[in-house]
Amino acid sequence: MLDRWATLGMPLLVQLGVAADSTPDDLARRPSAMVATGSDEIAGDVLQMRTAGAIIRMLLAKQFVHAIVWEGWDDAVTHLLPHTGLFSASGPRPLLEYFKRLRRDLLT
């Protein structure tokens, strides 16, 4: 789909969010049913990082993607989508460290 949008000849901004949990989220303004994508052996935070990391690496390989915007900052306060925050009630998620590494390695 990205390659098809690229035929427009314009830079793309991709807004992305990957949930770290499939349980109901009372603080989400746009609650939705989440599909469980992992096994019980992998923590939701780690699964979020692995899933998002694979998508982000693919997006970074596309020249026409000029920005990636993460949908969600802190799940401990009111937010838009369920469980997509870089912070949970217990602290930062591994995905935040992944973003820091990307910034350090690719943007500085």
> pTM for the complete prediction?
0.83
The predicted pLDDT at position 14 comes to 96
* Own/partner long-range contacts of 78-82 (Cβ < 8 Å, ≥24 apart): 78/27, 78/29, 79/27, 79/28, 79/29, 80/28, 80/29, 80/30, 81/17, 81/19, 81/28, 81/30, 81/32, 82/19, 82/21, 82/24, 82/25, 82/28, 82/30, 82/31, 82/32, 82/34
pLDDT one-digit tens code per residue, 9-56: 999 999 999 999 888 889 999 877 666 555 555 678 989 999 999 999
pLDDT one-digit tens code per residue, 42-101: 678 989 999 999 999 999 999 999 999 999 999 999 999 999 999 998 999 999 999 999
